A = this chain, B = another copy of it.
Amino acid sequence: MPLSTSDRSVVEPAIRRLSALRLLSAEARASLEYAMLEGLQRGGPGEDLLAEGDSVDSVRILLSGWLCRYKMLEDGRRQIVNFIFPGESCDTHAFLLPVMDHSIATLTPVVYAEIKRARFESLLAGDRSLAEAFWCETLVNNAIQREWAVNLGRRMALERVAHLFCEIFERLRPVGMVEGNSCIMPVTQMDLADATGLSVVHLNRTVQELRASGRIVLRDRTLTINDLDALKDAGLYSPSYLQLYRRG
């Protein structure tokens, strides 16, 4: 569903995030903004943007809402392997590989920019820092993916959930989606369970434990972290892997 708007602020999260990774020239910024505004799309919740096995011929940059990357096992078990937050892009270089190894789904209503591959490539060809910013994003993504392996492999339920909440909070902050000590949490507990490798029931109990100990408030789709440092301790969280404020 194409979306037209004259409001350039919709693309701001992407510009913000990329600028944090690499200092972008005014021209690079402008041409990217323009390309994004031309390709604005909307999606409803619960849609697959890309499915495992699809080939990819365009780049998507999320501007609002949440996406997730997930994989399914034959018998229906689902693992969310990562979230995608506003400002982040789906697959800037996925076309170098033949097909998607995983699926990408909307968890909420979303707005994103879709840029055709050729267009995207010429954008990158025109500006080295832009190319580097997108590559950095891939590398940071890789680092996040590694931390998820640690989370799933070596942390206990309470630590896992605490860690995930810290990560979400810290990833939303640089794109301006944190207010005070709160951010939105627009996903179901089933999604959180699939992201932490827990059953819904146990995830629910774990969340309640975090609530009961006063570490978080989670209601009305809003997460409030009373004491972020305490939650980080509980989740054995060390933020360096996000490399949030890099500038080459």
Contact = CB atoms under 8 A, between A and B. Distances in A.
Contacts of A52: 240
A230 interface: no
A162 to B, nearest CB: 13
A93 interface: yes
B73 A150 contact: yes
B96 A139 contact: yes
Contact of A94 (B81, B139, B155): B139
B101 A243 contact: yes
Give the interface size bracket for A toward B: 35 or more
Number of chain copies forming the complex: 2
Interface string A99-113: 101100000000000
B152 A243 contact: no
Given A96-B132, A241-B101, A77 B154 contact: yes
Interface string A214-233: 00000000000000000000
Interface of A: 52-53, 69, 71, 73-75, 77-79, 81-82, 93-94, 96-99, 101-102, 132, 135-136, 138-143, 145-150, 152-155, 196-197, 236, 240-241, 243, 246, 248
